[in-house]
């Protein structure tokens, strides 16, 4: 279940683009069914642009606290799962939806970001991933060469 560290984050969450809300829902489902997480804590959505890219100031990013039950390992696995499903921008394949560097900014966290070109894998590859997740549960291995 997605929860908010601060009540003001709930109204900010409602301003996120539909693609980012969908990704958050996918994270919630995978965290619960694959990693055994009951509560995901949103720690940041909007913040004014400073020296970073300003993606948070555009309501195109969200940060989650390190997962309580599965810790840093589970949080990193979630980043890998999300990057297996979603592509940030087909014109910039080096960019990722989920930052796999948990230690950046002020505290370790899972940073999720979207672009107007962010897209999900096609239905056939998503079905393959779902079967893989069901078979492997906590031993998830991200698919490579997809999309």
Domain ranges across the chain: 2-139
Tokens representing 29 are 């489902």
On the 0-12 / 13-18 / 19+ scale of CB atoms within 10 A, 130 is: exposed
* Structure token pair of residue 109: 């966290």
Taking only the tens place, the pLDDT of each residue in 52-84 is: 668 898 999 999 999 999 999 999 999 999 999
Considering the domain delimited by 2-139, tell me its CATH architecture. 2-Layer Sandwich (3.30)
123 or 111, which is more confident?
111
Instruction: Name the one residue in this structure whose structure tokens are 């893989």.
Output: 132
Contact between 37 and 68 under an 8 Å Cβ cutoff? The reply is yes
* Reported pTM: 0.84
Whether 104 contacts 111, CB under 8 Å? yes
């Amino acid at each position: 279940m997605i929860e908010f560290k601060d009540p003001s984050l709930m109204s900010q969450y409602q301003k996120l683009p539909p693609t980012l809300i969908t990704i958050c829902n996918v994270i919630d489902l995978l965290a619960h069914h694959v990693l055994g997480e009951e509560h995901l804590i949103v720690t940041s959505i909007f913040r004014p642009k400073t020296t970073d890219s300003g993606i948070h100031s555009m309501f195109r990013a969200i940060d989650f606290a390190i997962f309580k039950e599965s810790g840093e390992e589970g949080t990193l696995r979630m980043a890998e799962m999300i990057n297996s499903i979603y592509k940030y921008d087909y014109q910039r394949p080096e960019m990722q939806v989920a930052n796999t560097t948990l230690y950046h900014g002020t505290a370790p966290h899972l940073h999720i970001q979207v672009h107007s070109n962010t897209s999900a894998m096609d239905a056939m590859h998503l079905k393959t991933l779902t079967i893989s997740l069901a078979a492997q549960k906590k031993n998830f291995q991200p698919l490579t060469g997809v999309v």
